[in-house]
Structure formats: C-alpha cells, structure tokens
Amino acid sequence: MTDLAAAAAAELRNRTGIENLDIAMVLGSGWGAAADRLGEELAVVAAAELPGFRPPVVSGHRAEIRIFRTAAGRTVGVFGARTHYYEGHGVDAVAHGVRTAAAAGAHTLVLTNGCGGLDPTVPPGTPVLIADHINLTGATPLRGPEFVDMSQVYSPRLRALAREVAPDLGEGVYAQFPGPQYETPAEVRMAGILGATLVGMSTTLEAIAARAAGLEILGLSLVTNLAAGVSDEPLSHAEVLAAGRAAEGRLAELLGAIVERL
C-alpha cells in the first residue's frame, strides 16, 4: 500500500464517516448505471476531493466514489473514476483506486470493463466473466522484488458464485493493449493466437496491483463491439456507448444479484 492510497482512504473515512468497505467495484465502459441496484446509497464523494485521484477523460465514466449498503449488510464502494494507462500518468495513477479500496478495508474487488470481442458468436451487449488475462502493456504497477503469484488472479470461487447467479455467463481471457488506439485486425489475430478472447485497455494493471494488495477479484467484461477485423464494421466510441446503454439494465440486475452473494 502506498502512502497516497492510505491518505485517500483516510479522507474517504473523514468525508463519509464510513469506517470500512467490504467490497470495492470499478465501473468501466457500459457499466456506469450498474451500481444502481446495489442497495441503499450511503455516501457520494467526488473523486477529485481525495488525494491522488484524477478527473476522468472518457465520457461514460462517473468521477465519483459512491458507497452503498447491500440488503445483506455489506458496504460496497463503487469507484467510477478509473484512470487508464493510455492517459500517460503512469502505473501508480492506474492502480490508485484499487490501492485506495484496499486501504479502505475492502477484501473483494469487482473489476468491470467494456471490451472488444474476438468470438463472432458473442454479440455486443454480452457480459463475460474474465477467467484470466494477458498483460500486453509491457508495464506493471509493481516495482522491486515483489513476486506476486498470478496463477489465480480472477478468483475461481467468485466465478463459480457468479455462474450460480447467471448460469449462462461465459468466460473469456482478457488481453490489455496499451491503447488508446484500437487494434489493427492483425493485432487482434495475434491476441487470438496468444489465447485472448477479449481485448481492452484496462483491468490487467489494476488486477496486478489488487493481487499484490491481497484482494480477491471478480472480473466482468461487457463486449461492446466485435474486435477489429472480426466484423467488417469500423470501431467507434459511439458504438461502444450505445452498446453500454442498451445493456445497462441487465448489467445492473446481474451485478446486484452477484454482489448480494459476495
């Protein structure tokens, strides 16, 4: 844990009076409304009011930390302000939300994202469980001899639990490209040869930092578009936002049902 994350967690406690988070959640593209069925909202803090957070640059991301109490009595911190690696502020800025969540006491982390899908039979609007990842950024949030085990980054226990709630949830392997440009068709084919079924620009660096902090992770991708070359259509951010909006109700229901069981 860094001093900056400890300071952010302390400020979050000060501003909300909430001593401890049980669960933390990072909302990616398409998942913006997914917090709406988590339970009673206890507090909202603008991320910019906490040390180390940056204003978001992507439309569709909410720059707030919202804290909910679930029906089962768990406290959930929803981090709507993800910093992406492609923003160029470095790996510590990317990992800050996750580290703050850990410093605030969370033991469980739900990472969500919007991504491109490599399987043409999985249409845009489909949520997929992340079973494993490939970090293609060439970067890591860790420094020095911190030899973190990465053999089970996305908790088999939490994946099984998610499938109890939604038996039709498929699983995928998520490859993080540095971005911000989308892939070429050749890069998508490469990712497929390497074993990826999903491509995106987030999540893996956060997952590494989270495992280093001891968090148990559930990863969920929303396929918002078929990856470049998988369909004939060019990719557009507008398409991504539209797929997110169309799936929003189902994602809120899915997430609410899963979090109730965590």
* Site residues (vs ligand 8IG, CB under 6 A): 29, 114-116, 177, 179, 182-183, 199-201, 224-225, 227, 235, 240
Reported in sequence order, the residue ranges of 160-228 that DSSP labels E, i.e. its strands, are: 170-176, 198-200, 216-226
CB of 201 to ligand 8IG, least distance (A): 4
d(CA 68, CA 157): 23
CB of 202 to ligand 8IG, least distance (A): 8
| 76 or 201: CB nearest ligand 8IG | 201
CB of 238 to ligand 8IG, least distance (A): 11
Give catalytic residue positions. 183
Select from 101, 102, 82, 103 the least CA-distant residue to 93: 82
CB of 227 to ligand 8IG, least distance (A): 5
Cβ–Cβ < 8 Å for 250, 30: no
Phi, psi of 3 (to 5 degrees): -60, -35
| 160 or 194: CB nearest ligand 8IG | 194
| 108 or 176: CB nearest ligand 8IG | 176
Select from 216, 215, 219, 185 the least CA-distant residue to 202: 219
d(CA 143, CA 148): 11
Q: How big is the CA angle at 60 (ends 80 and 4), to the nearest 5 degrees?
A: 30
| 22 or 183: CB nearest ligand 8IG | 183
In the bound state, the residue with its beta carbon closest to ligand 8IG is 116
